[in-house]
Amino acid sequence: MKQTRFVKAGKVEVKEVAKPEIEKDDDVILHVVQACVCGSDLWTYRGLDKKEPNSLNNGHEAIGIVESVGKAITTVKPGDFVIAPFTHGCGHCAACRAGFDGNCQSHSDNFSSGYQSEYVRFQHANWALVKVPGKPEDYSQGMLNSFLALSDVMATGFHAAKTANVQKGDTVVVVGDGAVGLCGVISAQLLGAKKIIAMSRHADRQALAKEFGATDIVAERGDEAVEKVMELTNNAGADAVLECVGSELSTNTALKVARPGAHVGRVGVPHGNVEFPLAFWKNVSISGGIASVTTYDKSVLLKAVLDGQINPGKVFTHSYNIDDVDDAYKAMAERKTIKSVVTTD
């Protein structure tokens, strides 16, 4: 089968490898219909994180068809169409029961990798996989893209909004205009925010943020961005802030635009020297982390997509065959596309 491998910084390529097999009773083998490239995948591609040359690639988002199941699997069967979250919750530990399946306490191997492939072995699958009604051919390409978004970015944007405690009528600031930030805009609107200020410097992302429900766009950065947000909020600041980048600048900006007593939901994976000195002096609550993908998909997001209430698949602006996966990475690294779909057929 075809599988994407990390060759070196600035290069990934497809290799022929053996098809995975069931190894444990709670395994499921999936035939991947679509995968994609995540912004976090670009860290090694850009040489920002170290990775062994010629190793399994990072890709961790997919939708697919169940090929075979282990003896312990009772929730899906061969032929089922599923969303494969990047996390592998058990559904019954304290963390999962509390709605934080991204921090499942039952598994040490809780995260996906190598999903830009024709087939994948999904571990701890019984509760974590999200079954989609029907078959892929029952849906438009746009719907398939939205299902794919539910494997990570839509759930991660929703996690930012939930941990920021977005309430009906709130003023919300979204820091970051990548796929997660744009899904954060969708999430803020879904939860009833009245004013949504999206921070973006790119025209295509600004337009999509507006389509998703942003009422205002702030193109400035740093202190200029803070001043602009304060103008838009009558110097009050935001009730909730969604931090969707993870850098020192984005974190400081998020804390500065939050009003006293506000909540900041952080889902940008921390990079660099990130501290929280401002939070104490403003009584700002900071929460967030790894998204609860399965919990959100099963309780809210899948139905919202099926009902046409949200359309997160629009963050995928270009599609590539798996044979052209390096082009999919280059397009994102060069900001020629917001998020790349990778198809296996």
pLDDT in tens, 88-128: 999 999 999 999 999 999 988 888 889 999 999 999 999 99
Q: Are residues 118 and 251 in the same domain?
A: no
Higher pLDDT: 310 or 246? It is 310
User: Residue 270 has what pLDDT?
Assistant: 78
Sign, CA torsion 345/182/170/250:
positive
Residues 148 and 165 reside in one and the same domain: no
Mean pLDDT of 82-93: 96
- Note whether 41 and 115 are same-domain residues: yes
Is pLDDT at 276 greater than 70 in this prediction? no
The pLDDT of residue 275 is: 65
At residue 147, the pLDDT reads 98
Do 202 and 103 lie in one domain? The reply is no
**What six digits make up the tokens of 235?**
């110097």
Same domain, yes or no: 316 and 268: no
Domain of 12 in residue numbering reads as 2-152+292-343
pLDDT value at position 84?
98
pTM: 0.96
Which of 29-33, 53-57, 326-330 shows the lowest mean pLDDT across its residues?
53-57
In this predicted structure, what is the pLDDT of residue 271? 72
Same domain, 162 and 64: no
Instruction: Pick the range with the lowest mean pLDDT from 45-54, 115-124, 162-171, 321-330.
Output: 45-54
Other C-beta atoms lying within 10 Å of the C-beta of residue 192: 12
Looking at the structure, tell me whether residues 164 and 97 fall in a common domain. no
**pLDDT tens figures, 155-207:** 999 999 999 999 999 999 999 999 999 999 999 999 999 999 999 999 999 99
| pLDDT (0 to 100) of residue 111 | 86
Q: Provide the pLDDT for residue 15.
A: 96
Residue 131 scores a pLDDT above 70 = yes
Q: H helices within the chain, ranges in order?
A: 42-45, 94-97, 125-128, 141-149, 153-163, 179-190, 203-212, 222-232, 248-257, 277-282, 293-296, 302-306, 325-333
Residues 118 and 194 in one domain: no
DSSP codes joined into one string, 50-102: ---TTEE-----EEEEEEEE-TT--S--TT-EEEE-SB---SSSHHHHTT-GG
pLDDT value at 273 more than 80 = no
Query: Cα(235)–Cα(222) distance, rounded to whole angstroms?
Result: 16
Whether the Cβ atoms of residue 324 and residue 341 lie closer than 8 Å to each other: no
Q: Which of the four pLDDT bands, split at 50, 70 and 90, describes residue 274? A: low
Sheet holding 11-16, edge to edge: 11-16, 2-8, 55-56
Dihedral sign for Cα 217, 220, 221, 226, please: negative
Yes or no: say if 160 and 68 are a contact pair by the CB < 8 Å rule.
no
**141 and 16 share a domain?**
yes
In a shared domain, residues 168 and 230: yes
**pLDDT reported for residue 126:** 97
CA distance 185 to 143: 19
CATH number, position 77: 3.90.180.10
User: Strands 285-287 and 55-56: what pairing?
Assistant: unpaired
pLDDT at 278: 67
If asked whether residues 81 and 115 sit together in one domain, one would say yes
| Mean pLDDT taken over the chain | 95
Q: How many folded domains does the chain comprise?
A: 2
pLDDT value at 248 more than 90: no
Q: In angstroms, rounded to a whole number, what is the distance separating the alpha carbons of residues 179 and 337?
A: 10
Q: In terms of domains, do 9 and 54 share one?
A: yes
Mean pLDDT within 38-45: 89
Residue 277, pLDDT above cutoff 70 = no
How far is the C-alpha of 317 from the C-alpha of 17, rounded, in Å?
Answer: 29
